[in-house]
Amino acid sequence: MVRVAVAGAGTFGRNHLRVLRELEAAGLGVALAAAVEPDSARAAEAAAQYRIPVYASIDELLAARLELHAATVAVPTVEHHAVASALLDAGLDLLVEKPFAASLAEADDLIEKAEKRGRIVQPGHLEHFNPAVLAVEPRLRYPMFFEAHRLSVFTPRSLDVDVILDLMIHDLDIVLAFAASPVREVRAVGLPVVSPKVDIANVRVEFDSGCVANFTASRVSTERVRKLRFFEPHQYVSIDYARRDLLIVRMDGKISPELAAALAAGKLDAAALTGPAPGLSFVKPEVSPGEPLRLEMESFLDSVRTRRPPRVTARQGRAALELALEIQSTMAAHACRAGLADFFARCP
Ligand SMILES: NC(=O)c1ccc[n+]([C@@H]2O[C@H](COP(=O)([O-])OP(=O)(O)OC[C@H]3O[C@@H](n4cnc5c(N)ncnc54)[C@H](O)[C@@H]3O)[C@@H](O)[C@H]2O)c1
């Protein structure tokens, strides 16, 4: 029985609480043992709903000397390091929400602490557990061009970070894993729109392999989009993270110029397709159903029990953060060149 505490019972921490309780109720060898939440209204709500002790601080949780094996960290990103550090020092295995930390120095410190203490630390990059991503992994060939779109309607949450660390980091992490090549060059533009931080950004990353990835992320959109499309020689793959589905288009022969243009514009998706076209085969691989957060938690708990490295390692969390931070400084340099420094960047 793995006894788990949740740090942070805010918007996303509530999902951690729910999923852990669901796993407990399903008899999967886990017990939701406690939570930490400084906001008294949220703390009272979590205590009443889950019938667990909810403490106002990590110090109070640790002082209670409960039997605990692991914790999940769903506090604001700027607090990840302080909270995760204290829990690691207390000997717990951790699932730390994305982005792994607010700086590389903090990420390195957590990795070093975890290694020294032999603790599991898994960053919460839950798209790795999206059933569509799980289904595409064994079919990956040689992706050379990615197009990622992650758009959200504005809500006043996660404003301690910009849209890169809030949303785009999910796609950075997946593309880093799929491209499997060091980053050669980053170009980026981003603007604050509603919040004081960058709310919308477009980024182009080129890898040593020659692979290129375009990322667009917005938290001030009128619609919610979660899509990753990529092209491989003679193959096009479209992942819809929100629908958790996957479409593969294979070019088996000659295709018409009209179809080639539609493919190049990324306009083919499962909903738009009515049937196979000459030269193309459309494959909609079976995608097992499942909530990514639940699959992520199950995987984390499996690592806690077996001591096998987590499916998503702390170093992967660090790599995604490193690319995100490089994008931020490239965006700031662009803002300076464009005369936008007064709005959000500091120029040399
Ligand atoms: N994986 C995902 O898809 C996903 C989605 C949303 C948020 N997140 C991540 O989850 C984290 C939390 O985001 P959110 O939207 O829930 O934020 P939130 O502000 O709604 O909730 C954070 C909660 O943490 C509490 N808190 C602050 N300091 C604390 C401390 N020292 N100890 C314990 N609790 C503390 C706050 O009172 C608040 O209730 C962020 O890192 C965010 O990036 C991940």
Q: Tell me, using a 6 A CB cutoff, whether residue 157 lines ligand 1.
A: yes
* Cα 334 to Cα 188: distance, rounded to the nearest angstrom: 7
Ligand 1 atom with least separation from CA of 165: 43
Q: Tell me, using a 6 A CB cutoff, whether residue 86 lines ligand 1.
A: no
- Per-residue pLDDT at 76: 95
- pTM, two decimals, is 0.91
CA of 166 to the centre of ligand 1 (A): 11
Question: In the numeric block, which tokens belong to residue 222?
Answer: 């009128």
Q: Would you say how long the chain is, in residues?
A: 348
- Per-residue pLDDT at 271: 47
Query: Which of 153, 191, 177, 219 is closest to 323 using CA atoms?
Result: 177
- Per-residue pLDDT at 159: 80
Query: Which of 12, 81, 317 is closest to 177 using CA atoms?
Result: 317
* Cα 322 to Cα 52: distance, rounded to the nearest angstrom: 37
Tens-digit pLDDT string for the chain (348 aa): 999 999 999 999 999 999 999 999 999 999 999 999 999 999 999 999 999 999 999 999 999 999 999 999 999 999 999 999 999 999 999 999 999 999 999 999 999 999 999 999 999 999 999 999 999 999 888 999 999 999 999 988 778 889 999 999 999 999 999 999 999 999 999 999 998 899 999 999 999 999 999 999 999 999 999 999 999 988 899 999 999 999 999 877 666 677 677 777 777 655 445 555 556 788 899 999 999 999 999 999 999 999 999 999 999 999 999 999 999 999 999 988 888 877 666 676
User: Among 97, 159, 168, 195, which residue has the most ligand 1 atoms within 8 Å of its CB, making it the best to mutate?
Assistant: 97
Domains and CATH numbers, the chain: 2-124+292-311 (3.40.50.720), 128-283 (3.30.360.10)
Q: Tell me, using a 6 A CB cutoff, whether residue 76 lines ligand 1.
A: yes
